[in-house]
């Protein structure tokens, strides 16, 4: 079985030489003065766990970013393979940067984590519009 026990959006992240996952600036919303709004950079950070049987197989992975209407605004796909394990389960930390991602309107967006055609987790992101003060 494959699980995604950790999934967040952050300003930045990395994995140390010792395998520690470091997160900086976890957030759940973005405030913008106007739309469309472009966010310079954000990181989708998640951990995937697999049991021994799934660890040695190759898996299809898709990250789909959708708006409140379910329309895809960004999509990334690839293959995932964990490798051998003797402990009964294995974990892989994933960091995917989105640079210059554009959000067309205010509302809730979802970063969906899909493995082998099944949505395993999603991270919501609220885009909030702020009016510029009148001068």
Strands (E), 16-57: 21-27, 29-32, 37-51
Q: Is residue 42 part of a domain?
A: yes
What does the block give as tokens for 61?
A: 């992975």
Q: What percent of the chain has pLDDT over 90?
A: 79
pLDDT at position 103 is 97
Decide: 66 and 106 in contact? Cβ < 8 Å: no
pLDDT at position 53 is 80
Q: Is residue 135 part of a domain?
A: no
pLDDT at position 85 is 66
Q: Is residue 108 part of a domain?
A: yes
Q: Is residue 116 part of a domain?
A: yes
Taking the mean position of all CA atoms in its chain, how far away is CA 60? 15
Decide: 116 and 56 in contact? Cβ < 8 Å: no
Residue 41, domain CATH: 2.60.40.1930
Alpha carbon separation from 89 to 6, 29, 46, 49 (Å, rounded): 16, 33, 16, 7
Q: Is residue 134 part of a domain?
A: no
59-90: pLDDT as tens digits: 999 999 999 999 999 999 999 988 766 677 88
pLDDT at position 118 is 97
Q: Is residue 98 part of a domain?
A: yes
| 130 SS3 class | coil
What's the pTM value of the predicted model, to 2 decimals?
Answer: 0.92
Residues of the chain with pLDDT under 50: none
As for how many domains the chain has, the answer is 1
Q: Is residue 21 part of a domain?
A: yes
pLDDT at position 129 is 95
Helix (H) or strand (E) holding 55: helix 52-55
Domain that holds residue 35: 2-129
């Amino acid at each position: 079985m494959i699980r995604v026990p950790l999934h967040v959006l952050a300003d930045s992240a990395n994995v140390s030489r010792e395998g520690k996952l470091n997160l900086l600036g976890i957030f759940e919303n973005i405030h913008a003065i106007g739309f469309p709004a472009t966010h310079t950079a954000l990181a989708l950070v998640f951990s995937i766990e697999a049991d021994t049987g799934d660890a040695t197989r190759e898996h299809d992975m898709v990250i789909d970013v959708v708006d409140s209407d379910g329309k895809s605004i960004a999509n990334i796909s690839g293959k995932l393979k964990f490798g051998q394990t003797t402990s009964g389960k294995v974990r892989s930390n994933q960091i995917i940067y989105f640079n210059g991602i554009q959000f067309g309107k205010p509302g809730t967006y979802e970063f969906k984590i899909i493995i082998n055609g099944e949505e395993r987790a999603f991270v919501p992101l609220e885009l909030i519009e702020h009016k510029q003060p009148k001068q």
